Amino acid sequence: MNILFMGPPGAGKGTQAERIVDEFKVPHISTGDAFRLAMKQGTPLGQKAKEYVDQGLLVPDDVTNGIVRERLLQPDCEQGFLLDGFPRTISQAEALDEMLAAMNRSIDHVINLKVDRSLLLARLTGRRICKSCGSTYHVLFNAPAKDSVCDKCGGELYQRSDDTEEKVGTRLDEYISKTAPLLAYYSDKGLLREVDGEKEIDTVTSDIISYMRGLS
């Protein structure tokens, strides 16, 4: 199963992706996670990405397409994948179509998590992430049992540097001007499924699973 997750920053793509990959046993490919890892390691890719990520801007298409192309060729993607946060521009979507055509594959589902802009700021500024396993929490909406400690692995929780009010504003503007036009691109291909991302986290997960299992 080849799945794309779309939606504005803070819509819940990462939260739902963690759960859906457990259910469908496909690798979770997040371009945002890949950039953050490269930034932490200080690789040339990380240094390049940092110029953009730290400002809330999209990383150039050629850089982003390159990492996805390389990742999709890994053996664990043979049975499918879940792409989270890619594509984010029409040019990335066209590049993905070419990559998949060259592999004789195609996209099965494009899930768009719909959340009103007014909710996104609170979701992002309250988000906390585990330093060890990458699990996502929220100080109010999905709080860990013990403050600042991951329920799953006991790791320390941190706040992303682009989750400040100012950077969230830039990220939302980037989404509206460059990524939102992709919804028509996939809708025209008959692949787009809108999911209400404002419901409880568990409800959103079951809505996505029942759609992908052909039950709704």
Kindly state the tokens that stand for 89. 């521009």
Nearer to ligand AP5, 92 or 112 (CB): 92
Nearer to ligand AP5, 26 or 168 (CB): 168
Catalytic, out of 88, 123, 128, 167: 88
213 a catalytic residue: no
Q: How far apart are CA 211 and CA 216, in angstroms?
A: 5
160 a catalytic residue: yes
Q: How far apart are CA 25 and CA 9, in angstroms?
A: 25
Q: Which of 21, 29, 35, 45 binds ligand AP5 (CB under 6 A)?
A: 35
The region of 71-79, 82-90, 97-105, 144-152 touching ligand AP5 under the rule CB under 6 A is: 82-90
Query: If we measure between CA atoms, which residue out of 211, 187, 207 comes closest to residue 198?
Result: 207
Place of tokens 């998949």: 100
What is the Cα 56 distance to its own chain's centre? 15
127 a catalytic residue: yes
The item of Zn ion, ligand AP5, none sharing an interface with residue 152, based on CB under 5 to 8 Å by kind, is Zn ion
Query: Are the beta carbons of 126 and 139 closer than 8 angstroms?
Result: yes
Nearer to ligand AP5, 212 or 214 (CB): 212
The item of ligand AP5, Zn ion, none sharing an interface with residue 135, based on CB under 5 to 8 Å by kind, is Zn ion
CA 202 → CA 24, 36, 48, 111, 155, distances in Å? 16, 27, 37, 16, 23
123 a catalytic residue: no
- Collapsing DSSP to helix, strand or coil, 30 comes out as strand
Catalytic, out of 19, 105, 114, 160: 160
The item of Zn ion, ligand AP5, none sharing an interface with residue 167, based on CB under 5 to 8 Å by kind, is none
Window 93-122: residues binding Zn ion (CB under 5 A) = none
CA dihedral for 84, 85, 90, 96, sign (positive or negative): negative
Query: Are the beta carbons of 2 and 80 closer than 8 angstroms?
Result: yes
Question: Which amino acid is residue 172, in one-letter code?
Answer: L
Q: How far apart are CA 10 and CA 119, in angstroms?
A: 9
Q: Is 14 in the site for ligand AP5 (CB under 6 A)?
A: yes
Smallest distance from the beta carbon of 130 to Zn ion, in angstroms? 3
146 a catalytic residue: no
Q: What residues are designated binding site for AMP?
A: 31, 36, 57-59, 85-88, 92, 160, 171
The region of 37-45, 98-106, 136-144, 184-192 touching ligand AP5 under the rule CB under 6 A is: 136-144
Catalytic residue set: 13, 88, 127, 160, 171
